Structure 1
Amino acid sequence: MAAGWQQRAFALDARYNAHRAPNHPNFRTLYIRRRCQLLREYTKGEDSLIRKQYLRIRCQLLQQRYGVSCDQSSTYSRSISARSSSRVSESPEAPRFPSEESFLGEQGAVVPTKQAKASRAIVGGTTIAENYAFVGVHHIFDQHTAGVTMLKFANNDRSRLCCASLDGTVSICNVTADPPYVEVVLKGHKKGVTGCDWSVSNDLMVSCSLDSTLRLWDVGSQKCLRVVQDQMGAEMLSCLFQPANNNMVIAGNSQGMVEVLNVSTGIYARGGSSKLGGEVLALACDANGQLLWAGNNKGVVVSFLFDLETGRLSKLRRLTVAENCPITCISWRAWISREARDPTLLINCAANVVCLFRVVDKEGSLQLKRTFAVRHKNYLVRSTFCPIMSFRQGACVVTGSEDSCVYFLDIERDEKPCVNKLQGHACPVLSVSFNYDESLLATSDYQGLVIVWKREKPTTNSAQQNT
């Protein structure tokens, strides 16, 4: 109860933080950090009535002081820039999704059944809600002056977090140091950075930008090793390392091309370019690198066969998720849980939904399993699977949202799938990322703030009650 009250108080301050000293962003960040510290130190032992009275009075005082409502939707209803709005356009009509039942047929459950007692015993009987009780703010980073479009923890690394920002820089943070700090801010792009990715060994990093370039960085020396211009001179909107061959990078641009680049030579692979149409905003590969999915701003997802030797792309399947509603993020996962071994895609669609698809064949064909309502129409919102394969009943995904919240969704629940909601950002949450052991969750927003959340460990009593 105390943790939930602390989070509501923190969220209230975060909503009004943009109005405090508008010409001094450093002061605003310092203020919100101090408020977070005070809430952690002085919220123990108070009864719920005092907490409710405090929240009500503080809300009234802040509203009188700044002359605006505490409603997030009214306070932060400003539109995005012309460039961003053209990239993520609204559909004039509500999208029509295919019936889930028409796709599912008689296939089995996605997650462990209620009879999976042995699997639940491995994790001590903790529920999904207990396991994803991220309530405390571990640290707040404010090194970026514009929206942080993508967050990525390094592979199998608890500490290093990469942040790509529309201010044209990429930063690497150490989140487990005492105190956490920014290791380096990588500068070189002339315009906003739209995507980034770590190599498998974390020694290299790739970033792409609206300045039509892709940059390869050496993480150890913190130097740029190569700059490659887009072969069409178009804005580069997405990028990732080929998981089975880190000498190749896959990129998507604003002219609808999916491109394969050899980063050692700086040459685009012959046959490695394929026209998708629109603007390619999202990319994802399976673990062996043979299947690639790309999504554009027209609501279309296309699967490709990737030739690991030559980098050649061959189109396979095409699916319209929601017409003219941009696909802003695609995540692939081989297993959602121990008993559910179907490969799965998690897709953010700017039609106020997050969609869960099953990969049904070797050509990357998709069948819709679930849709979740999330506020998402105008921004490049991203989501992620929780990284640890679940041994309990239920499986969780996490997504950002334009209502300034972060949602934890149990994909097994038919009703009320939200098992946790984080409130701390004061504007749309763009990206989310777990470290590999799920001890920390990083979230970023349109104003450039990055919040690292820590998980509250379930008590022994609560774990025993749920076994």
Structure 2
Amino acid sequence: MTAVWQQVLAVDARYNAHRAPMCPQFRTLYIRRRSQLLRDNAKTEHDPLLRKQYLQIRARLLAERYGVLCNPDGSSIKSRTASLRGSRVNLESDSEEARNRRRWSSSPQKLIADTKHDEGVTPTSEAEASRAMAGGGTIEENYAFAGVYHIFDQHTDAVTAVRFANDDKSRLACCSTDGALSVCQLVPPPSTVICEGRGHQQGVTGFQWSISNDLIVSCSLDATVRLWHVASATCLRIVEDSAGAQIHSVTFQPVNNNMIVTGNSRGLVQVLNISTGKYAKGGSSKATGKVMALEFEPTGRLLWSGDDKGTIFSYIFDMATGKLTKSKRIVACEGATISCICARSWISREARDPSLLVNISANSLCLFRVMDKSGTLKLRRRMSVRHRSYNIHSSFCPLMSFRQGACVVTGSEDMCVYFFNIEKESKACVNKLQGHSAPVLDVCFNYDESLLASSDASGLVIIWRREEKGSAL
């Protein structure tokens, strides 16, 4: 019943941002201590029914205390049998089907979302409590990142992904096409590389931290996924792709970190039990092209994949069995690569608006609204960034739902990092960071937005610090 305790930890982690808003250090210590206690209790024999009851009660109490909707049945979610429904996103000002089939590059000036009648996506002007949690100041002041905190150059080739540890502003992991994975310590200075994981025979295309930050799962062009123990930098498990294909994306199941999902070059989305090294029965589905991006929504019930044919699929995930049921198919841009999908359920009570942020290799960064439980998407915003050849990634700003205004940050092939206020229909760019000498592939905030990491195609990782005047810490 170890999986039940991991689900308890996932529920605690989901609400961790609401605990002690003025003392982020306490939140980090709290979740670490909870992880330790839950692991210890998992070794003791208990009635399985009592464990499940505890999980349900815990989820219900947290939902009542913090007022955030949560699936009260945290241990499992019933799967729904749904036929695949095709749809095409209307990316132009008119609604003719023939025009929707065009490549974005043919008429980029027309590719805008119809947003005149959409609801607001950020807290209202009355949301004083939300703004107080993040601090005052304008959007421009809050994202005035200008100073360089540190530069890492330990990798000899492109750094394809960077991620801060969960609820931890000091540890950053990077992966590279040189086949290595590294973990860096940023706070307190001096910043150092504390460990490196080497073992992949080809480039590492992606990775993710576990909820408790003690494990990292990585995927590679060598057709394997590897599970790493962070503290010792040792590889705990190697699993080969079932089809022997290159693996381009990987993600942990957010509720049960025993399960991961991979996407390979043959278009297969596959569920793998990383603890046993076995693929789940019924946990495989076929996309239209190479699966370049994977993302769960926070409760783990919905999964999205993006491929190199411009298609986004949504899947219903059965937590009890790991079975995937294909739900929706959205053609975002025919023939273009979906290089990144980032999901966010906005935690502000004034703006509960689940969304997807999607990078598409048609010079576009798109914001979609999740319309229903089956993963139907509606285009909300399109922002222009230089993106044609590389796998560019973006991220939501962690504190955006506490501000009047909402920002996202993205890399670009013009060697810049861009901040966009998605509330503005014109002149949405609020900041641009210049310092890289190669296309910027990935960007990532730490949890309190005091530091921003960006990586590029030359192997450089720049850590940017926020200007003190605009600090919202």
Q: If the TM-score is normalised by the length of the shorter chain, which range does it land in?
A: 0.7 to 0.9
What is the DSSP-based 3-state SS (H/G/I as helix, E as strand, rest coil) of the residue aligned with 1:269? Answer: strand
Of residues 354, 361, 365 in structure 1, which corresponds to 2:372? Answer: 361
Which of 249, 252, 256 pairs up with 2:267? Answer: 256
Structure 1 counterpart SS, 2:356? strand
**Using the alignment, how far apart are the partners of 2:370 and 2:289 within structure 1?**
24
**2:380 aligned partner, one-letter code:** K
1:107 pairs with one of 118, 123, 130: 118
Q: CA deviation at 1:339?
A: 2.2
Distance in 2 between the 1:93 and 1:99 partners?
14
- Residue 386 of structure 1: CA displacement? 0.5
Counterpart CA distance in 1 for 2:107 and 2:308 is 16
Cα distance, 1:327–1:389 mapped onto 2, change above 3 Å? same
RMSD of aligned residue pairs (Cα, Å): 1.9
- 2:231 alignment partner, SS class: coil
Cα deviation digits, residues 230-273 of structure 1 (max 9, x gap)? 00000000001100100001000000000100011100001111
Q: Give secondary structure in 1 for the equivalent of 2:118.
A: coil
Q: Report whether the alignment pairs 1:129 with 2:118.
A: no
In the other structure, the counterpart of 1:331 is 342
Deviations 1:387-406 (A, max 9, x none): 12433310000000000000
Displacement of 1:414: 1.7
1:149 maps to which of 149, 156, 160: 160
Deviations 1:150-193 (A, max 9, x none): 01111011111110100000000001132100011100000000
In 2, distance between residues paired with 1:182 and 1:328? 27
Count of aligned residue pairs for this structure pair: 370
What is the CA-CA distance between 1:429 and the residue it aligns to? 0.0
Does the 8 Å CA contact 2:364/2:386 hold for their aligned counterparts? yes
Q: Give the alignment partner of residue 332 of structure 2, picking from 313, 317, 321.
A: 321
Read off the aligned partner of 1:304 and give its amino acid letter: Y
Q: Is residue 373 from structure 1 mapped to residue 353 from structure 2 by the alignment?
A: no
Paired residues of 1:338 and 1:391 also in contact (CA < 8 A) = no
Give the drift of 1:97.
7.6
1:385-424 correspondence runs (5 A):
385-424=396-435
**Structure 1 unpaired stretches of 5+:** 1-89
1:458 aligns with 2:464: no
Equivalents in 2 of 1:294, 1:125: separation in Å? 37
SS of 2:146's partner is strand
Moved over 3 A (4+): 90-99, 104-107, 113-124
Identify unmatched segments of 5+ residues in structure 2. Answer: 1-102
What's the TM-score, normalizing by structure 1? Answer: 0.76
1:221 CA drift (Å):
2.0
Within a 5 Å distance, the mapping from 1:87-106 to structure 2 comes to: 93=106, 100-101=113-114, 104=115, 106=117
Structure 2 residue corresponding to 1:140, chosen from 144, 151, 158: 151
Q: Residues 336 and 389 of structure 1 are in contact (CA less than 8 Å); yes or no, is this contact kept in structure 2? A: no
Query: In the alignment, what sits opposite 1:294?
Result: 305
Deviation readout 1:368-390 (Å, 9 max, x if unpaired): 00000101011000000001243
For residues 134 and 338 of structure 1, do their structure 2 counterparts lie closer, same or farther at Cα, with a shift above 3 Å needed? farther
- Aligned-partner Cα distance in 1 for 2:302–2:470: 42
| 1:227-246 matches, cutoff 5 A | 227-246=238-257
Report if aligned partners of 2:346, 2:401 keep a CA contact under 8 Å in 1.
Answer: no
SS in 1 for 2:420: strand
The corresponding residue for 2:178 is 167
Question: What SS does the corresponding residue of 2:140 show, helix, strand or coil?
Answer: helix
Whole-Å separation in 2 of the counterparts to 1:436 and 1:121: 17
CA distance in 2, matches of 1:306, 1:179: 43
Aligned-pair distance for 1:99?
5.5
Match of 2:197 in 1: 186
Q: Percent identity?
A: 57
Check whether the contact 1:94–1:351 (CA below 8 A) recurs between aligned residues.
no
SS at match of 1:420: strand
What does 1:27-46 correspond to in 2, within 5 Å?
Answer: none
For 1:431 and 1:303, the matched residues in 2 are separated by: 23
SS across alignment from 1:390:
helix
Change (3 A) 1:450 1:256: same
Distance change (3 Å), C-alpha of 1:213 and 1:346: same
Contact persistence 1:126–1:392 (CA under 8 A):
no
Deviates more, 1:139-148 or 1:110-119: 110-119
The alpha-carbon deviation at position 227 of structure 1 amounts to 0.4
Q: 1:138 to 1:203 in 2, by over 3 A?
A: same
SS in 1 for 2:368: strand
Given that 1:96 and 1:322 are in contact with CA atoms closer than 8 Å, whether structure 2 keeps it comes out as no
